[in-house]
Amino acid sequence: MTDSTIRAPRRATKDRKTKETEIHLDLCIDGSGVSSVDTGIPFLDHMIEQLGKHGGFDLTLVAKGDLEIDLHHTVEDVGIVLGGALAEALGDKVGVRRFASGLFPLDEALVEVALDLSGRPFLVYDIDPVSEWIGTFDPQLAEEFWRGFAFAAGITLHMRSASGRNGHHVIEASFKGVARCLRDAIRVEGDAIPSTKGAL
């Protein structure tokens, strides 16, 4: 490989500050899966670390939110910031594979994920949360995370749980599944934009 063909790592830095949350994120999508995450919500930290590890993303994320009111604002805004950073890091998406899908097991849980780096945000979320709570985390908020992420990233994302009795397993399988699909879809395999429109 010559110097002229070496591609710089795709990176983005995002900051978001509102009356509800303050978030800083550094993201490299051509990384080795090293993450440092502190949102004040231990289960969410664990899930974003899974996203980084299995997506091959290096990320540093610090979020401070109004957790004394509810987890909702922090979870949703973290999704928005992470999705926005992904969109920025992808740039014009020249050469990316674009589509990815798969079935992802975790013990008794099985989750199906399909996504398209389409530029057209859409979310189909058919994940049975099973549990009412996972530690201090309300699993219903996972849908809010993915909605914020998908719309900020400009991707079409479908997620369905086929089986599962343990809420932790179901949610974790979904995060790992999205991570692996993103890892596949963002892979550069050509030098053209994969769309008949000429843009994504």
Topology adopted by domain 3-185: Ribosomal Protein S5; domain 2 (3.30.230)
Tokens at 77, concatenated:
């805004």
Q: What is the pTM of this model?
A: 0.95
Q: Residue 10: pLDDT above 50? A: yes
Q: Which residue has the tokens 């992808």?
A: 90
Closest CA to 157 of 176, 182, 140, 138: 182
Mean predicted confidence (pLDDT) in 88-114: 98
Encoded amino acid at 119, one letter: G
Closest CA to 59 of 67, 68, 71, 51: 51
Domain locations in the chain as residue ranges:
3-185
What mean pLDDT value characterizes the chain? 95
Q: Residue 62: pLDDT above 70? A: yes
Cα separation of 198 and 143, whole Å?
31
* Relative orientation angle of helices 167-185 and 141-153, to the nearest 10 degrees: 10
What pLDDT, in 10s, does the model give residues 159-199? 999 999 999 999 999 999 999 999 999 999 999 999 999 89
Tokens at 26, concatenated:
């550094």
